[in-house]
Chains A and B, each alone.
Chain A
Amino acid sequence: MKNLIKKLVESIGPSGYESDVRRLVQEEITDFADELRTDAMGSLIARKGTKKGNGMRIMLSAHLDEIGLVASHIDEKGFIRFSTLGGVYPRNCPGGRVRFMSGVEGVIGVERLESSEHNITIEHLYIDVGAANREDCPVKIGEVAAFHRPMLDLGNRIAAKSIDDRIGVAILIETLRQIKESPHELYFVFSVQEEVGLRGAGTAAYALDPELGLAVDVTLTGDTPKGPKMEVSLGKGPAIKIRDGRMLSDPRLIQHLVQAAQNAGLPYQLEILEGGTTDASAIQISRAGVPAGCISVPCRYVHSPSEMVDYNDVQNAVKLLVNVLSNPIQLDKSAA
């Protein structure tokens, strides 16, 4: 699975420009899906199976897109000023390398700050592609770029750009491949434009009208020096989301996921995330409302060019998902 992850995190797909990643995913799953389509927004939707007995129509979602940059001005010296696509932190940018969709690569530089108390803002930053002047610059306004660097395999841990959410994409691909029998009609949605406001998941949920929604995405951890206070760590298992900034998971679904993990002897953690959210929150409020939840992969340094996850958490997330989706799901009313 590490090879699959490497391919995914080393491809580029900022929000709205997910075509390359979508093509890659399509190649990986085409032999395993019963039906495959790309919707109007660009989300890739794979169906597996049909509803049997007490099965449900389930939407699973992992997003194809990653945070990125978009050129807004080329100055007379050939430096590129940019705006962001999604939550790019200016402090994570200086010295970083980027790659435009056209293949042009460059480094991010920063103006000298007026004083050491100044915070770096996006206005202080520029991309240097080695151009001598405006005419020489191979990048035009509107061209889109993403962080660029190879995956780092640290054994149990993996670090790369766009782990958020290619790790979720990899987990869904692997789950789709491993599921043999299921009572459910499963829709694997590889969504677009999550980082700019869950836009692809909202429209896909409208189209699919699911009875249950489950996102697979990353969450923050509290296990780094002076990190956020949070009871989630790398290596202690996939996290079952209780709540985040925009969603309260369906308590019956939480209960079901916890029970399934316990029965299968899989490690798990419970996640309470103060800010941020996932595709699940868009699914939850689609149409007349959908019971929704999220399986999160604990991840350090989210929205930096080197996001880190534990490989065991990733594999256990696949095991949990395959287990849950292969069996009937009773949403226990007493848990609500």
Chain B
Amino acid sequence: MTGQSQDGSQLLKTDADQINLLEKLSNACAVSGDEGEVRTIVLEALKSARAEVRVDALGNVLAVCKAAGENPLRVLLTAHMDEIGFMLTDKEDGGLFRFDLVGGIDARYLPGKPVWVGKNRVPGVIGAKPIHLTTQDERKKTISLDNLRIDLGPAGSELAKVGDRAAFATAFQQAGPSLMGKALDDRLGVAALIELVRHAPAHIELQAAFTVQEEVGARGARVAAYTLNPDVAFAIDSTPAHDLPGWDETENAHYNSRLGGGPAIYIADSGTISDPRLVQFLVQTAEKHHLPYQFRQPGAGGTDASQIHKQRQGIPSVSVSTPGRYAHTPVMIARLEDWQNTLALLQAALQAISPDILTTSR
């Protein structure tokens, strides 16, 4: 669905259909390397688009919308389908499984969390000793991964096996302006990219890659960028918003990004230095359309862009993220308006982008 922006051009708006799709995507389980469930949703959603769609050797969904004219600018957009989670590594008696982490997870978050195991979503719990039985000393310490198990109970014992993935068992919900769910990193990006493919402008070749294995090193994006060999690339992701006040009343100088501040444009993270021309272009686009935006604080972290920009002869790249609190925990909180503005900014950018971007000075 589209609406009029202030300067008369068409900007994407979102309605209940998009929220429903986002809910479906958030609730789907796709721990790195096992992205099938999200891939199925993406393939289904792209049926109505004019894109040529294929699945590559690693499981990326590649959707290409050809341009109407000759020698168009080839623009790659990526969003990763995978999420952080767990892998069962050893079976013990009574439905207890040892497990390892897939992607960046702080083990302090784990005790007491429900999970879904395997393709059939066998329910389980990451267990720990209850407070009745722990000493004061024990309660001061982090429980190591070695001392945690996923407990599936006797009924679940035969329904899961070593190698199965497990994801946090969190159901998506909308609470006023807030979106709460697991895997919003990066299903927010996946949902946005689906909309962008459906409304691909005709003057560019839009290449969409719904990537696999981002959380373990942007592995899918690497091969997708090699295959598609674009002129420029945008990674659409989610970035932590640690925008809470400093509890000791000092100024919070390390918030990374802020909820409600609009799409977060990257300058530099540990994987990529964004092409300054693309940063400038996004800023100008946002200002032209009176869209809010923020710069993600330069620092650690990485997105699909970290691999994309180094492929072949080099691909100018930038990342744009929807901010979200509590990233890589069982539930993220994001703002609907930040997601809508991320989508609107990218749509406006795609409509305005031209080959001139590569000849402007850096």
Contact = CB atoms under 8 A, between A and B. Distances in A.
Nearest to B306: A197
B67 interface: no
B276 A206 contact: no
Nearest to A202: B310
A199 B305 CA distance: 13
A40 B316 contact: yes
A163 interface: no
Interface string A46-73: 0000000000000000000000001111
Contacts of A202: 310
A142 B251 contact: no
Contacts of B309: 41, 199
Interface stretch (B77-85, B292-300, B330-338): B292-300
A72 B273 contact: no
A76 B253 CA distance: 10
Nearest to A200: B314
A141 B261 CA distance: 14
Interface residues on A, range: 20 to 34
B344 interface: no
Nearest to B256: A72
A70 B315 contact: no
B144 interface: no
Given A72-B299, A73-B253, A73-B297, A16 B268 contact: yes
Given A142-B298, A199-B310, A207-B313, A85 B253 contact: no
Q: Which of A142, A200, A206 is the most central at the interface, judged by chain B CB atoms within 10 Å of its CB?
A: A142
Nearest to B268: A70
B312 A203 contact: yes
Contacts of B310: 199, 202-203
A42 interface: yes
Interface in A111-136: 123
A85 B268 contact: yes
Given A19-B361, A203-B310, A70 B253 contact: no
Contacts of B314: 39-41, 43, 199-200, 203-204, 207
Nearest to B313: A207
A72 B297 contact: yes
A203 B313 contact: yes
B267 interface: yes
Interface in B313-348: 313-316
B245 to A, nearest CB: 13
A181 interface: no
A43 B297 CA distance: 26
A15 interface: yes
Among B231, B295, B311: residue with most chain A CB under 10 A: B295
Given A41-B316, A70-B298, A199-B309, 11 more contacts: A17-B362, A39-B313, A39-B314, A70-B268, A72-B297, A72-B299, A73-B255, A199-B310, A199-B314, A206-B312, A207-B313
Interface of B: 231, 251, 253-255, 267-268, 273-274, 276, 279, 295, 297-299, 309-316, 358, 361-362
Interface of A: 15-17, 19, 39-43, 70-73, 75-76, 81-83, 85, 123, 140-142, 193, 196, 199-200, 202-204, 206-207
Report, nearest first, the 7 A-B pairs whose CB atoms are least far apart.
A16-B273, A203-B314, A41-B314, A142-B267, A40-B314, A207-B313, A70-B298
16 contacts: A16-B276, A19-B361, A39-B313, A39-B314, A40-B313, A70-B267, A71-B298, A72-B253, A73-B297, A81-B253, A83-B297, A83-B298, A140-B295, A142-B298, A200-B314, A203-B310
